[in-house]
Structure 1
Amino acid sequence: MTSIGVSAFYKCTALSSVEIPEGVTDIGNYAFQSCTALTNVEIPEGVTYIGGAAFGYCKNLQNIILPESLTKIGTTDYNFNNEGTFSYCESLTSITIPKGIKEIPEYTFSFCSNLESVKIPKGVITLGAFVFGGCEKLVDVQLPASLKKIDRCAFINCKSLKNLDLPKNIHNIYDETFSGCTSLENITLPGVTWVDTFAFASCTSLKELDLSHARMIGRNALSNCSSLTNVKLSDSIETIGEGMFDGCSSLTSITIPKSVKTIEDGAFRFCSGLNEIVVDEENENYYSSGNCLMERETKALILGCNNSQIPDDVKYISSYAFSGCESLAEIVLPSSLTSIGAHAFSRCKSLGDVVIPSSTRYIGDYAFSECSNMTSIEIPKSVTSVGSYIFTGCSKDLIVYAVLNSAAAKEAKYEGYTVKSIGEECEIEGEKYQYRLLSDNTVEILDYMGSSAELTIPNEIDNKSVTSIAADAFSECDTLTKITIPDTVVSIGNTAFYKCSNLISVKFPSSMENIGRAAFSQCKNLTSIEL
């Protein structure tokens, strides 16, 4: 006999031991698969090939010695069931690979849940996908210098693996190669230039990582590495991908190299311990200001931290910029701000009360979700678009101050929060206004709720001088044709009369000091301005 054919003893569930005679050279695919009582196998010298899934699901197989004559471990034809030669041999504790093997193919020892030690000889060039995936007790693996490729998920969920030295010929770390190695504390990567998606995800014991040679790091490569305190990035890396440091809650400082051209949304989301953001001064695309990571061209705030002070020229706060900054207690949003991205301040559990500036037009989904310490937020009329669930998970005592019937007020009511008017309402000469008292005991008009064609704005409300017209206060009032502003008013906010499409004439007082950005933008019929 020279060979044992495909599925020759498949599911012989009472078979407890096998002695293969001399002269056999090939053991076919599935030859002893699911022989669940099999505990010992003696494979003689002369066997050169063991097929795919040949001993798969032999759950009680404790001892198997591979002969030095073995030169190839096979795979199944299609591998729809993720089956390898010894996959699911749950009682196997150690294995020695013969010197003639050049490749250990995909799934060979996957889900050998009690496998603790593997000896891989010099000469092995490739470890296939999932080759040790799910070997939860694997502690000891010595990788030979000959190794050139470790394929995707090769060590996924090897939860006991603590230390690993990669040979210098390994240049690529593929998808999820070490994902879920929760005990991994030290790994050296001397030749690695490419790290793919989720490569080290959920390596929760990993504290330091040197990626100084990696020119490319994929999305979520280090996500949920909750003990990671120090990571060294390459001076040639150009992109920091989405979720790359997601959930790295012990990371306190990050330095962005000069080579970085793109930082994707959520790259640092839920880095709850982040206190310092440094950008190489030679970086042409990003800079650090107020402990915030800023994009030069757009003035977008890409990333903040627990100690950030938002710069005065910020136009956009990007998605996830402050997400998970659990020690961030106070923010002052600048008058330049126009947009707050999705999840921008989500899980800022220490964040107190917030005032949105009148320049802001948009607040994204979940922007302030799970800000459990926030008891009030003031949202002006200028915010005309809001996402979904922007307050979900906040304290039940949260009060949202907004213009009644505005998009923000409607969203807050939908989520079950108390909504109060951002100001008081009044009626003067048949015209309805919403207003608030300023710190100098004067009045700012927040909203006009009338429909007149010709309007003279009152100089007093509640016996107090009207000095300011807020952003968007009269925006899109398409009935207005003529407006007279009293001599008490010194300031008109951004887009205050935006798209008053039938407005023809405006009379300004000599007291006027400031007319805001786009205050009369797109008033297409405006022909007379008296200053």
Structure 2
Amino acid sequence: MALSLAFTFPSCSDGSSGGSDDDSGQITNTANAGTSGEKSNPSITTTADNVAELITSLEPGEYNIAVTGAITSETISTIATALKGNENAKVSLDLSQTTGLTSIGNDAFNDCSSLVSLNIPNKVTSIGNDAFYNCSSLASVSIPDSVTSIGKGAFQYCKSLSSVAIPDSVTSIGYCAFSYCSSLKSLNIPASVASIGKSLFNDCTSLTELTVSEGNSAYKSHENCIYTKDGKTLIAAATGLTSVTILDGVTSINEEVFYFCISLTSITIPDGVTSIGKGAFVGCSSLTDVSIPDSVTSIDYGAFSYCESLVNVTIPAGVTSIGERAFVGCNKLKTVNYKGTQAQWNAITIANGNDPLTSATINYNYTGE
């Protein structure tokens, strides 16, 4: 389901092999050409001054390009422009032997759909906001242990990225850094990370393994979910899971934690949770039944929106407000099991966009029987 919710929040066809390195982009290892006429994984070494021109000249096919020499942010910009201008050449780019670059800037490679893999130079300390946004063919990236920060939306919409190793040097990971990476299967947060942004794995529908390294002082993991070290806040979850039991002791669920967990069929929320964040369960289209514990007093904006299979929801008597669009798009909702009286239900502040909730049958004084 496509839905956006904003919450405020050179050729080798001659068959030759071998060749000496030079500074112009010489093919140094030639693979066999593909049957369709596309080039198949030739390896090329070139300099920073020539790499953009080389990429522009490539015929359709797959290429491994190693770059040498000094590079700057301007070099990265020209490389990105060349990649965007030649989408039929799929490029694996190795920058590990270059010098001079200390950061991958904001938007550096965004929308470079021809970039297949990248080795980042080992002096780079930061990966900027949206640096690889919508690099739809990017299947692998090698992050050196000099990197300390990964910016907001850095790998957002990298739909071919199946795994990434975050080095022990990283201390912060920004908001939505890996959102919409639909092929991402596993991720480990190293012990060095002290800050994780919200909505980190939105719509990562293949993500089933999510861990935090032992020794992390800020976070811990349990059954592929990430919590604050004190166990009071659910920070993130592997969004390819089918069933989740939230740890006892949790008092709050972050915004968009289970955003479009389309395989999630069962969620157990423990008593003690008082806050369910904005869009916490948005788009969980396989959920059919949700029981909200007695400790919850408010249901935030869009909390269960577009849970298209939701038939029953149990709401405690202590709820005093239900936020805007909390149950919008829950068009199969038939029954609200309400633990309070009709008078208490009528006193709840129910914001706009909750027609599926208000149109459902309300079972007052529900006891679970």
Give TM-score scaled by structure 2 length.
Answer: 0.74
Which residue of the partner structure matches residue 6 of structure 2? none
**Are residue 436 (structure 1) and residue 361 (structure 2) matched?**
no
2:118 and 2:94 map into 1 onto residues whose CA distance is 6
1:241 to 174, 177, 189: 174
Which residue of the partner structure matches residue 127 of structure 2? 195
Which residue of the partner structure matches residue 163 of structure 2? 230
Deviations 1:398-450 (A, max 9, x none): 44444522446555654675233341xxxxxxxxxxx33454xxxxxxxxxxx
Query: Do the aligned partners of residues 239 and 419 (structure 1) sit closer, same or farther apart at CA in structure 2, a change above 3 Å counting?
Result: same
Say which SS state the counterpart of residue 164 (structure 2) adopts. strand
Alignment of 1:73-472 (within 5 A): 122=47, 124=49, 144-151=67-74, 153-154=77-78, 155=80, 157-158=84-85, 159-160=87-88, 161-166=90-95, 167-169=97-99, 170-191=101-122, 192-213=124-145, 214-297=147-230, 299-305=232-238, 306=241, 307-402=243-338, 403-407=344-348, 409=350, 411=352, 413-414=354-355, 417-423=358-364, 435-439=365-369
Q: Which letter does structure 2 place at the counterpart of 1:164?
A: L
Shift of 1:163: 1.8
Alignment of 1:483-502 (within 5 A): none
Which residue of the partner structure matches residue 5 of structure 2? none
Q: Structure 1 regions of 5+ residues with no counterpart?
A: 1-96, 99-118, 424-434, 440-531
CA contact (8 A) 1:404 1:420 kept: no
Root mean square deviation, CA, Å: 3.2
Which residue of the partner structure matches residue 35 of structure 2? none
Shift of 1:178: 1.5
Q: Which letter does structure 2 place at the counterpart of 1:202?
A: N
Say which SS state the counterpart of residue 405 (structure 1) adopts. helix
2:290 and 2:59 map into 1 onto residues whose CA distance is 47
Say which SS state the counterpart of residue 230 (structure 1) adopts. coil
Shift of 1:227: 1.7
Greater RCO (CA < 8 Å, at least 6 residues apart): 2
2:77 and 2:346 map into 1 onto residues whose CA distance is 52
1:274 and 1:194 map into 2 onto residues whose CA distance is 25
1:391 and 1:153 map into 2 onto residues whose CA distance is 44
CA contact (8 A) 1:250 1:274 kept: yes
Q: Which letter does structure 2 place at the counterpart of 1:124?
A: D
Shift of 1:150: 3.0
Shift of 1:353: 0.6
Say which SS state the counterpart of residue 160 (structure 2) adopts. coil
Say which SS state the counterpart of residue 436 (structure 1) adopts. coil
CA contact (8 A) 1:149 1:172 kept: no
Query: Do the aligned partners of residues 205 and 313 (structure 1) sit closer, same or farther apart at CA in structure 2, a change above 3 Å counting?
Result: same
1:398 and 1:136 map into 2 onto residues whose CA distance is 58
Alignment of 1:26-105 (within 5 A): none
CA contact (8 A) 1:389 1:415 kept: no
The ranges of structure 1 where at least 4 consecutive aligned residues each deviate by more than 4 angstroms after the TM superposition are: 119-123, 135-144, 408-417
Shift of 1:235: 0.3
1:323 and 1:123 map into 2 onto residues whose CA distance is 41
Deviations 1:94-150 (A, max 9, x none): xxx99xxxxxxxxxxxxxxxxxxxx997473998xxxx99x9989879564223213
Shift of 1:177: 1.7
Alignment of 1:474-513 (within 5 A): none
CA contact (8 A) 1:273 1:326 kept: no
CA contact (8 A) 1:333 1:356 kept: yes
Structure 1 or 2: larger helix share?
A: 2
Deviations 1:13-53 (A, max 9, x none): xxxxxxxxxxxxxxxxxxxxxxxxxxxxxxxxxxxxxxxxx
CA contact (8 A) 2:259 2:281 kept: yes
Query: Do the aligned partners of residues 255 and 165 (structure 1) sit closer, same or farther apart at CA in structure 2, a change above 3 Å counting?
Result: same
Query: Do the aligned partners of residues 387 and 409 (structure 1) sit closer, same or farther apart at CA in structure 2, a change above 3 Å counting?
Result: closer
Q: Which letter does structure 2 place at the counterpart of 1:299?
A: K
Say which SS state the counterpart of residue 267 (structure 2) adopts. coil
Query: Do the aligned partners of residues 187 and 328 (structure 1) sit closer, same or farther apart at CA in structure 2, a change above 3 Å counting?
Result: same
CA contact (8 A) 2:69 2:98 kept: no
Which residue of the partner structure matches residue 19 of structure 1? none
Greater Rg by CA: 1
CA contact (8 A) 2:245 2:269 kept: no
2:216 and 2:236 map into 1 onto residues whose CA distance is 16
Shift of 1:287: 0.6
1:232 and 1:404 map into 2 onto residues whose CA distance is 49
Identity of aligned residues (%): 31
Query: Do the aligned partners of residues 379 and 204 (structure 1) sit closer, same or farther apart at CA in structure 2, a change above 3 Å counting?
Result: same
1:362 and 1:335 map into 2 onto residues whose CA distance is 14
CA contact (8 A) 2:327 2:353 kept: yes
CA contact (8 A) 1:400 1:418 kept: no
Shift of 1:183: 3.2
Shift of 1:288: 1.0
Q: Structure 2 regions of 5+ residues with no counterpart?
A: 1-22, 25-43, 339-343
2:215 and 2:177 map into 1 onto residues whose CA distance is 23
Give TM-score scaled by structure 1 length.
Answer: 0.52
Q: Which letter does structure 2 place at the counterpart of 1:207?
A: A
1:225 and 1:245 map into 2 onto residues whose CA distance is 8
Q: Which letter does structure 1 place at the counterpart of 2:71?
A: K
